[in-house]
Amino acid sequence: MAFNIGNQQGGVVNNVAGNQTVHGGQSAVFTAGGQEVRGLVRELRASIERTALPPAIEPEVRAELDSLDEEVARPEPDRETVAGRLGRITRLLSSAGALATAGTGLIGPLGALAGWLGALGQPILRAIAG
């Protein structure tokens, strides 16, 4: 049997010819190279621009996005700094009700970036899930 798979992304992907038994569960950590992470930040920015934000938080969200963009453009982004910026963006969007109304447009890139952060992204994932 041959598998011809172009490109896959996911938490855990199993391609099995026959039966598979998993003992002890499966887990994965989302990883992305610098270019993909910058693309996710661009996607997040585009989603936020399509979302009507209250004037009281819009400048702060944009400033955090600008700082986030600068950090992920570095050759070795500091994940703690990224987590802090992304956490603040998530809290601001949540306080404005934007996460509840914008749907996957915001949650997709937020979740992917939080996944890239690994353990540092867990608070963000909990915030967007609830």
pTM over 0.75: no
State the chain's mean pLDDT as an integer.
81
**Lowest-pLDDT range, 17-21, 30-34, 49-53, 67-71?**
30-34
Minimal CA–CA distance to 119: which of 82, 91, 75, 93? Answer: 82
What's the rounded mean pLDDT across residues 31-54?
83
Tokens of 121: 């992204």
Predicted pLDDT at 7: 45
Predicted pLDDT at 108: 87
pLDDT-derived band at 8 (thresholds 50, 70, 90) equals very low
Whole-number Å distance between alpha carbons of 9 and 95? 31
Whole-number Å distance between alpha carbons of 79 and 72? 9
Predicted pLDDT at 96: 79
Minimal CA–CA distance to 19: which of 37, 1, 43? Answer: 1
Distance, C-alpha 125 to centroid of its chain: 8
Q: pLDDT tens digits, residue range 59-115? A: 999 999 999 999 999 999 999 999 999 999 999 988 878 777 766 778 889 999 999
